[in-house]
Amino acid sequence: MFEHYEVFARVGESTDIVRKEMYEFEDRAGRRLALRPEGTASVVRAFVEHRPVTPWKVWYVAPNFRAEAPQAGRYRQHYQVGVEALGSDDPDLDVEVIALLDGFFRSLGLRRFRLLLNSLGGAASRASYAGALRAHLDAHAGELSAAARQTAATNPLRVLDSKRPEDLAVIEAAPRTLDHLDGPDTEHFERVQAGLRRLGIGFELAPRLVRGLDYYTRTTFEFAADSLDAAQNALGGGGRYDGLTEQMGGPPTPGIGFGAGIERTLLACDAEGVFAAPDRAVDVFVVDVVDGSHALALTSELRAAGIRVDRAFDRRSMKAQMRQADRSGALVALIVGEQEVADGVVLLRRMAGAAQEPVARDRVVEVVRKEVGAS
Ligand code: HAM
């Protein structure tokens, strides 16, 4: 969860994620540490440290921290499930990684999402694009927000992340990365698209998708949920980072991966209703008007048999306990009073219709199981 500050400083000196949103502090030994804002830099740091055999394919699920203004789908602590694959720049690997994430969302039952795809190109293409973009931003400086003007001077690509309304028209008219790809970058991107088509994975070209971190080269992608608010609709995203390992002091090693936001994925699942929500929390409610000890034993036995059960506490009146049974949504109430104890039975009451019958104490689990359909 902690890394040396420098691990992230290198990957995002001019990004909001590192400059404005990263939690950083000094520990007691005076080291400058950061709470991990994302997973890729840590994985690459581990690669450089341990030098595993390539191709190296790893995955993680872990919390990340960003000091953002919390709102639906945007939290200061969020979980990502991610993969990284280091050691090959084969476009088939891009397709494999994208297909894995597409398949993950589909296997959950999600359908209302789109795959946005772009290529930033390698160093030469990126430099050519950055030059054209800077010229465009300079020419329209007067129409940009003050913050965007400042970003344009240090890292023009980051201006494309701006969601400020005043910047949108200039961004819309900005040059496209795809018009600045050199020969090898163009070929790489064409092969990625061909591979996705081959697997039947639909995508939209998003020529201004540069993503919020500086390490990306060539392929970038994002899965956007149509069921979520546009400002927080990225379910997951990723791309290539062919220069990152070298930048961190390792041998030149291309890499690609993705990170998917678990909370956002769950929000999208809720919005699309892909999980059947349980209509009640318990099937059985025990009402004990003797002393509570019968409820204690019954709930324990029923739970051991895998039956969802709750009870009242605090020796409340019969009426109060029955009201609680009603509110719990249980199908069945088991009622124990002095008479039932004397007779060695429990009253089983079906909450719908209120029919009730005595059940021998030692047959309760068996009868209740049949009644609520538990296995
Ligand atoms: P990212 O786009 O910054 O990429 O984050 C990945 C995903 O994490 C987002 O698409 C979103 O679903 C979720 N996410 C990000 N910030 C928040 C937040 N504040 N609250 C809730 N969810 C959030 C990365 O982090 C890269 N490491 C992905 C990657 C892996 N690229 C290459 N390999």
- Closest atom of ligand 1 relative to the 17 alpha carbon: 3
Does one domain contain both 136 and 117? no
| Domain end marker among 181, 197, 226 | 181
Beta bridge partners of 71: 74
**CATH number of 237's domain:** 3.30.930.10
What confidence category does residue 277 fall into, taking pLDDT thresholds of 50, 70 and 90? Answer: confident
Domain-located, residue 187 = no
Distance CA 99, CA 262 (A): 18
Does one domain contain both 78 and 158? no
- Kindly state if the Cβ of 238 falls inside 6 Å of ligand 1: yes
Residue closest by Cα to atom 30 of ligand 1: 258
CA-based angle 62:65:68, to the nearest 5? 140
Mean pLDDT over 355-372 rounds to 95
What confidence category does residue 375 fall into, taking pLDDT thresholds of 50, 70 and 90? Answer: very low
List pLDDT tens digits, range 4-57: 999 998 777 777 888 889 999 999 999 999 999 999 999 999 999 999 999 999
Q: Answer yes or no: is pLDDT of 90 > 80.
A: yes
Distance CA 365, CA 375 (A): 11
Cα(17) to ligand 1 centroid in Å equals 10
Task: List C-alpha distances in Å: 151 to 16, 128, 146, 208.
Answer: 10, 18, 9, 16
| Of 216, 159, 168, 229, nearest in space to 16 by CA | 159
Does one domain contain both 80 and 148? no
| Of 88, 39, 104, nearest in space to 240 by CA | 88
Distance CA 207, CA 178 (A): 6
| Of 304, 290, 283, 306, nearest in space to 346 by CA | 290
Cα(238) to ligand 1 centroid in Å equals 8
Q: Answer yes or no: is pLDDT of 213 > 50.
A: yes
What confidence category does residue 162 fall into, taking pLDDT thresholds of 50, 70 and 90? Answer: confident
Does one domain contain both 341 and 220? no
List pLDDT tens digits, range 346-360: 999 999 988 999 999
Amino acid letter, residue 157? L
Domain-located, residue 199 = no
Question: Mean pLDDT in the chain?
Answer: 94
Domain range for residue 325?
A: 284-374
Does one domain contain both 148 and 247? no
Domain count, the chain: 3
| pLDDT at res. 26 | 97
Mean pLDDT over 239-266 rounds to 96
Q: Answer yes or no: is pLDDT of 374 > 80.
A: no
Mean pLDDT over 67-82 rounds to 95
Does one domain contain both 261 and 295? no
Q: Residues with Cβ < 8 Å from 369, sequence gap 6 or more?
A: 305, 307, 375
Cα(144) to ligand 1 centroid in Å equals 26
**CATH number of 288's domain:** 3.40.50.800
Residue closest by Cα to atom 13 of ligand 1: 261
| pLDDT at res. 246 | 95
